[in-house]
Amino acid sequence: MKAALDVDRVSRLIAEAAAEEILPRHAKLAAGDIREKAPGDLVTIADEAMEHRLTGALQALLPGSAVVGEEAAARDPAVLRRLETDLPVWIIDPVDGTANFAKGEGDFGVMVALAVEGATVAGWIHDPLGRRMASAERGAGAWLDGRRLSVSDVPVDPAELSGTLLAGYYGDRELGKRVQERRALVRALKSRRCAASEYLRLATGEMHFALFTKLMPWDHAAGVLIHAEAGGYNAYLDGESYRPARVAGPALLLAPDRASWQALHDRLIRP
C-alpha cells in the first residue's frame, strides 16, 4: 500500500453502514427476507445490503484493492482465489452470526479485515447493538473504542482456563469426540455461535481460549489479528500460524500465550 491506512475512517464507514443497513432490520425481518444459501446456512437481506455497501466503499477507499465477501463467495467460490494474489484484499463478513440475527437475537457483528500479500494487516469487529468497535493494525496494538485491549491473564491451574470448543461441528468427528470427552478438564463455556462475539470475548480478556474447526477467512482474519495484537497466541493444530487463504485443514486454537496454547493442546487435543 502506497498510502497509510486510516483505521479510524474504516471504523466510521463500518459503523455508519451497520446503522443504516443492519440495525433498522434487526428483529423486523419478514419471512421473505431470510433464505438458505445452503442447507442450514442462512442469509438475510441485511447481509446482502451490508456486503454490497461495504464492497463499494472499501474499494473506493483503497483503489486497486479486491474484495472477498462471504455472500459473494457463496455465489462464486472462485472469489476466494483473490486471497492468493498480490492485490490488497478486503475480507468482509457483513453479518456474522446470521442465525442469531435472523431470530432477532443479539449475538451478531460485522467483521472486516485487510490482507496484503497473504497476511492480515488490519482488522475490525463491530458490535452494532452494543455500539462497540474493536480494531487493530499489525504492530500497533488492538483497541476497543479508544481503550487498548489485552488478553486475559493465564491462571496457574490449567483447569481454570475458560473458553469455547467448536470442534466436531464441521466434519472433524474424531477431534470432536476427543474434545467432548475431555471438556471437563477446562472451563468450557457456552458458544454464542458468532465468531465476532467470541473474538471480542478473547481480546477483552473475558475468556482465555477458543477452538474453531470452520476456517473461512471472513470468520477469522479480523479476529485473529485483533487477538494477536492484544497479546494472544494462535496456531492451527499442526503448529502453523494463521493465514486467511487457508480454509481447510486442522482446527485453529487461540490462547493467551504459547505456553497456555500448549497446555490446552495437551489436555484437549493430543491423542
pLDDT at 158 over 60: yes
User: 190 to each of 68, 179, 193, how far by Cα in Å?
Assistant: 30, 14, 9
187 has which bridge partners? 162
Provide CATH 3.40.190.80 ranges for the chain. Answer: 158-269
Mean pLDDT on 60-69: 97
> Angle, nearest 10°, between helix axes 195-203 and 217-229?
10
pLDDT at site 108:
98
User: CB neighbours (10 Å) of residue 236?
Assistant: 17
Q: Is 3.30.540.10 the CATH number for 7-148?
A: yes
* pLDDT tens per residue across span 97-155: 999 999 999 999 999 999 999 999 999 999 999 999 999 999 999 999 999 999 999 99
Rg (CA), the chain: 18
Q: 75 near 60, Cβ under 8 Å? A: no
Angle at 91 between CA 87 and CA 97, to 5 degrees: 170
Location of C-alpha cell 491506512: 5
pLDDT at 169 over 70: no
Location of C-alpha cell 475431555: 182
What share of the chain in percent tops pLDDT 70? 97
* pLDDT tens per residue across span 222-244: 999 999 999 999 999 999 999 99
Provide the 3-class DSSP secondary structure of residue 178: helix
First to last CA, the chain: 44
Residue 7's nearest CA partner among 229, 195, 197 is 229
What share of the chain in percent tops pLDDT 90? 90
Provide the 3-class DSSP secondary structure of residue 65: coil
Provide CATH 3.30.540.10 ranges for the chain. Answer: 7-148
- Averaged confidence pLDDT in the chain: 95
Kindly indicate the confidence band of residue 175, based on its pLDDT and cuts at 50, 70 and 90: confident
Kindly indicate the confidence band of residue 176, based on its pLDDT and cuts at 50, 70 and 90: confident
**What is the CATH number assigned to the segment(s) 158-269?**
3.40.190.80
Residue 219's nearest CA partner among 117, 110, 114 is 110
Q: 203 near 234, Cβ under 8 Å? A: no
